[in-house]
Structure 1
Amino acid sequence: MPGLQAVALDYDGTLTTTERPEQEVLEAVRETRRSGRTVVLVTGRILAELRADFPGVDGELDAIVAENGAVIADADGVHDVALPVDAHLADALAHRDVPLRRGRVLLACDARHASTVQEEIALLGLDCQISHNRDSLMVLPSGVTKGTGVAAALSQLGISRHGTIAVGDAENDHHLLETCAVGVAVGNAVDALKQRADVVLDAPNGAGVVELLRGPLLDGRERVWPERWQVEIGHTVDRGEPVRLPASQATVLISGGSASGKSYVAGMVAEQLVRMEYSVLLIDREGEHCGLGRKQGVLTVGGADPLPSPEQLVALVRQRAGGVILDLSLLADRNERAYLDAALPAVLAQREAIGLPNWIFLDEAHRLGVDPALSARAIDNAPGLCYATYQPRDLCDPTVDRIEALVVTSGGRDGAEEVLDFASELIGLPRPELAEELGEEPGRALLWRRDEGGEPVVFQPRWRSTPHVRHWRKYTDSDLPPHLRFYFHPHPQITAASNVRDLHRQLAAAPTDTVDAHARHRDFSTWTREVLQDERLAEAISRVEGRADAPNLPAGAVAEGIRRAIEARYLEDSSAMR
């Protein structure tokens, strides 16, 4: 099921201008549901009155959000999402001859009584709000809107609001349209709503709804990237202006040489999406993104713990508000491939059905071996994919052809030149010009968006609030091959350090003269630089090694200094760009 997974429709003035929608409108709604999409009615009407005017309305929809977001009717029955407006207000308004209708939660009356209603709310000291719907007025508990109601209803249905398109016509539809992925105003909508909507239909009310349900926007043939759903990834180098990526329905490639910061940027994008309440599945080959697991609603699985089965992974993704970090860093390549071959199809099938996860991140994408047909299906049917790699040419052609945004990170080592060649061809900019634009200064990046005329912009990536360390799990917990381990000479009885955690532990036990001798030869910083490829840690250790011959240096000071450098880099929080 390509495109968006759900539609949230206002009733009066949108779906119909009479008590019951026309037959063609109802048939378009039925077609939409038969396609596998969810349709939710979101109305200011009192539920009992709606059912009286339109018998059988419940059977035409997957859920009804009534009373402007205060009442939900679905397969589990009818339930209120807020306490009723204080009955004393109804009594006070009745004494002032204001005709009222009471719902389960709200009070409704004619909009001409607005000032009287406001006076009585103030006199009684109530925490209520007034919502207008053309000539009608509703009194609701504060904080209750169509947006909060539809979010609650979609959550109960297991559907993401970020995979939902909302349609309305009046003042009380603002929050509904802003809450969902795309907000649409029918042709007869009030001007204020049209100005805020992402899309304005040509046709009015029911005819406009039919136009939308049978048109290219819902099924993904056309995409809209609203301004409110953009991820801020940094600021331009020259003017300090914000640089943004679409937060939904996009295919993004982040590429650059090794150690250029591409995984940092990928994690930063994921972090922003989680903050915006998108559901993210990040497939982490190197254990670099475990810090994201500290975010509320995000769970890290795998690593030193057993991986969930494909069925369990799908269930976790469905239940997590923020997302899942899938840590594959301790798997052998063969086992990793077998796991992904089983898990990815299950994840994609769920995503096509209910839109979760909203995003899939594939870090070190060139080594994941994703089937080209599977990659093309994921992009076409449920876009929201981010690939990060220093070998972009190893991605399959269907992936490359569908890239809508490219981020190139500066500097780095392996693959930097190849990335520039690739980016030059994709963007259509001569390589020397592209290289000059980007520069070689670390901590810079270039963004190209297909939807913005193809003009690349150079920017400084924004800070992150969660720690990121290159190959954290790989170097802290995974055993390096024997020829890459650190050996303490001349003490063969000391076990070789097979990873950073081993080195950290053994420095505390190794003889002081042995540690100091290695430090004088810069062995620790050389190993860190050449094996771990971590220049920042190598520089920190090198500064410690430089003090090995200092007079009156306390015994064990060098070992302790290196241990602290390791702790600061790998074993404690750090928020600087890596």
Structure 2
Amino acid sequence: MRYVVLAAGFDGTLARDGRCDERCIDVLRELSATGRKLILVTGRELRRLLEVFPEARLFDYIVAENGAVLHRTATRQSEILGQAPPEILLQELRRRRISPLSVGSSIISTTAEHLDVVRASLRKLKLHMDYELVMNDDSLLILPPGIDKASGMNEALRELGVSRHNLVAIGNAENDLPMLAWAEHAVVVSNAAESVKQAADRVTDGAYCDGFLELARDLMATDLASSVPRRRVLLGTSEDDREITLSPCRDSVLITGPDEVARALICNRLLEQLMQQDYQCCVIGADRNVPVASPRGAFANMSSWGDAHEAPRLTDVLAALEPPTHSIEINLAALPVETRPVFVDALLLQLQALHDRTGRPHCILIHRAHHFLTGNQAAAAIRRLSEVTMIYSTAAANELPPRVLDDVKLTIATGTGTNDPPAESGESAQAQAVIAGGAVCRISLFRPSAGSTSVTSADEATVSGY
């Protein structure tokens, strides 16, 4: 299961004129029964929301006041995430006779007609740089610094231990935009304004509850298998300027060729782009001459398990993967060669169980894959990890199980041919960069010269499959 969390707005999405359709309530129960977590994200104050929608307790978390309040429904505990409204601002708004005026734990709300007066008040008090004004249908929200629907929702995700890349969000209003931008898949109901629809990956055919039901049924039936990926990793550009991209959590990659240095550099490039976007990666290898990770940049949030003297333990590996943005590198050098495939088989089964529960890891990279994936058990586990980006680096692709190769969507080949000797460090590898249709794709590979860590050359690689 890839999308393990659903976040939904209330007014204009679940509710019309403040009332939620009974059909939505029934489907929320069905969604919860699938094991998915539910987050209700609303601009309303918590007390007023529960007055009109007591069924909100079907959700695991309620993010109220447009992200300023986090409510845990299981314990009925609330946490204020934003600063309280300054009394001087409240006095100024009352002096200007702004009515209605609702004051929550952190936000202030009124009607949209008072926008100019509120702006003038903030400028007078020199607070206009600190507070943000957001429209929510006919309401005007005055938000404290750092508060929006995405910030509150992200706090709920942190407590759940779930990545934003396993989140689908649905909304309808301008104040939903930060939430929609943060989610892996953003859905907008058809009654939304055109400016909000432009930020969505999908606009439902139905409005209000009908639109939500449309998404919920697709989520339960297919886990949004037909959804168009929002985020992509750029690999290169063909001679006709067509971008060659990888869809995270969907496409699998084979990196092959005799030059292990070049293969490792391509892997680093892919890993760096994935980790910069907070995708969780798991790297498996042993006895490699080229380190996969650098202590700087995107690789700073990656830990290593195992070395040439001590084998990693599965319990430690799985514990390290619990934080949703933390990636790991597993070194099996201490294991006898004949037992390494057995360890990888067991690891893949555990990763499959983790993925079923959390939708992670998002990427599994295996160096010298033909040494580790030798039997049907590994191929079967990989098949069940269909929503994980698998990256196989190998000099002997023909030794991989056919069932593994069947799932490869993209092939990157380094060197002029499989029989060519590896290039010396610092040399430029030769390649015929050809993709489907005869176009040429150029991928920049940066290789340091011998004894140096500086970039000295850019190479090309063959890409096929797209």
TM-score, scaled relative to structure 1: 0.70
The alpha-carbon deviation at position 240 of structure 1 amounts to 6.6
Does the aligned pair in 1 maintain the 2:240–2:439 contact within 8 Å? no
What secondary structure is seen at the aligned counterpart in 2 of 1:291?
A: coil
What secondary structure is seen at the aligned counterpart in 2 of 1:385?
A: strand
State the identity %.
26
What secondary structure is seen at the aligned counterpart in 1 of 2:132?
A: strand
State the partner residue of 2:293.
291
The alpha-carbon deviation at position 42 of structure 1 amounts to 1.3
Letter in structure 2 aligned against 1:459: C
Letter in structure 1 aligned against 2:4: Q
Does the aligned pair in 2 maintain the 1:261–1:577 contact within 8 Å? no
Tell me which of 207, 219, 223 is aligned to 1:219. Answer: 223
Q: Verify: 1:310 aligned to 2:323, yes or no.
A: no
Letter in structure 2 aligned against 1:371: A
State the partner residue of 2:124.
123
The alpha-carbon deviation at position 186 of structure 1 amounts to 1.0
Which is worse superposed, 82-91 or 112-121? Answer: 82-91
Tell me which of 353, 371, 381 is aligned to 1:374. Answer: 381
Tell me which of 209, 212, 216 is aligned to 1:209. Answer: 212
Tell me which of 228, 233, 236 is aligned to 2:235. Answer: 233
State the partner residue of 1:57.
56
Does the aligned pair in 2 maintain the 1:9–1:42 contact within 8 Å? yes
In structure 1, the gaps of 5 or more residues are: 417-440, 449-453, 470-535, 538-564
What secondary structure is seen at the aligned counterpart in 1 of 2:38?
A: strand
Alignment of 1:348-363 (within 5 A): 348-363=352-367
Letter in structure 2 aligned against 1:89: L
Does the aligned pair in 2 maintain the 1:114–1:137 contact within 8 Å? yes
Distance across 1 between alignment mates of 2:155 and 2:119: 28
Write the deviation string for residues 332-386 of structure 1: whole angstroms up to 9, x where unpaired: 212322322322211221112112212111222222126121111111xx33322
Higher helix share: 1
The count of residues paired between Structure 1 and Structure 2 equals 441
The alpha-carbon deviation at position 203 of structure 1 amounts to 0.8
TM-score, scaled relative to structure 2: 0.86
Q: Verify: 1:110 aligned to 2:90, yes or no.
A: no
What secondary structure is seen at the aligned counterpart in 1 of 2:283?
A: strand
What secondary structure is seen at the aligned counterpart in 1 of 2:15?
A: coil
Distance across 2 between alignment mates of 1:415 and 1:199: 47
Q: Verify: 1:333 aligned to 2:320, yes or no.
A: no
Distance across 1 between alignment mates of 2:257 and 2:171: 44
Alignment of 1:469-480 (within 5 A): none
> Against the structure 1 CA distance between its residues 404 and 39, is the aligned structure 2 distance closer, same or farther, given a 3 Å change threshold?
farther
Does the aligned pair in 1 maintain the 2:43–2:67 contact within 8 Å? yes
Distance across 2 between alignment mates of 1:204 and 1:164: 21
Does the aligned pair in 2 maintain the 1:258–1:412 contact within 8 Å? no
Letter in structure 2 aligned against 1:146: K
The alpha-carbon deviation at position 109 of structure 1 amounts to 0.8
> Against the structure 1 CA distance between its residues 101 and 280, is the aligned structure 2 distance closer, same or farther, given a 3 Å change threshold?
same
The alpha-carbon deviation at position 284 of structure 1 amounts to 2.4
Distance across 2 between alignment mates of 1:72 and 1:447: 52
Distance across 2 between alignment mates of 1:462 and 1:66: 46
Distance across 2 between alignment mates of 1:575 and 1:145: 45
Write the deviation string for residues 191-248 of structure 1: whole angstroms up to 9, x where unpaired: 111122111111111111111111168514323211xx11123344x46775432233
Distance across 2 between alignment mates of 1:443 and 1:72: 56
Distance across 2 between alignment mates of 1:384 and 1:245: 9
> Against the structure 1 CA distance between its residues 104 and 266, is the aligned structure 2 distance closer, same or farther, given a 3 Å change threshold?
same
Q: Verify: 1:163 aligned to 2:161, yes or no.
A: no
- Specify the structure having the higher radius of gyration (Cα): 1
Tell me which of 52, 66, 69 is aligned to 1:68. Answer: 66
- The 4+ residue runs of structure 1 with deviation greater than 6 A are none
Alignment of 1:3-402 (within 5 A): 3-58=2-57, 60-74=58-72, 75=74, 77-99=77-99, 100-126=101-127, 127-215=130-218, 219-226=223-230, 229-236=231-238, 238=239, 243-259=244-260, 261-287=262-288, 288-294=290-296, 295-304=299-308, 306-319=310-323, 321-369=325-373, 371-379=378-386, 382-402=387-407
Distance across 2 between alignment mates of 1:78 and 1:167: 23
Tell me which of 411, 432, 441 is aligned to 1:406. Answer: 411
The alpha-carbon deviation at position 106 of structure 1 amounts to 0.6
Distance across 2 between alignment mates of 1:30 and 1:293: 45
> Against the structure 1 CA distance between its residues 80 and 463, is the aligned structure 2 distance closer, same or farther, given a 3 Å change threshold?
farther
Distance across 2 between alignment mates of 1:385 and 1:33: 29
Does the aligned pair in 2 maintain the 1:259–1:412 contact within 8 Å? no
Does the aligned pair in 1 maintain the 2:312–2:331 contact within 8 Å? no
> Against the structure 1 CA distance between its residues 68 and 373, is the aligned structure 2 distance closer, same or farther, given a 3 Å change threshold?
same
Write the deviation string for residues 400-437 of structure 1: whole angstroms up to 9, x where unpaired: 33333333334364489xxxxxxxxxxxxxxxxxxxxx
> Against the structure 1 CA distance between its residues 400 and 304, is the aligned structure 2 distance closer, same or farther, given a 3 Å change threshold?
closer
Letter in structure 1 aligned against 2:148: T
Which is worse superposed, 244-253 or 48-57? Answer: 244-253
Does the aligned pair in 1 maintain the 2:61–2:70 contact within 8 Å? yes
Letter in structure 1 aligned against 2:46: L
Distance across 2 between alignment mates of 1:308 and 1:455: 44
The alpha-carbon deviation at position 272 of structure 1 amounts to 0.9
Which is worse superposed, 128-137 or 400-409? Answer: 400-409
Distance across 1 between alignment mates of 2:270 and 2:384: 23
Letter in structure 1 aligned against 2:385: A
Write the deviation string for residues 503-525 of structure 1: whole angstroms up to 9, x where unpaired: xxxxxxxxxxxxxxxxxxxxxxx
Which is worse superposed, 317-326 or 114-123? Answer: 317-326
Does the aligned pair in 2 maintain the 1:259–1:413 contact within 8 Å? no
What secondary structure is seen at the aligned counterpart in 2 of 1:318?
A: coil
Distance across 2 between alignment mates of 1:457 and 1:6: 40
Q: Which has the higher contact order (CA 8 A, sep 6+)?
A: 2
Distance across 1 between alignment mates of 2:308 and 2:49: 55
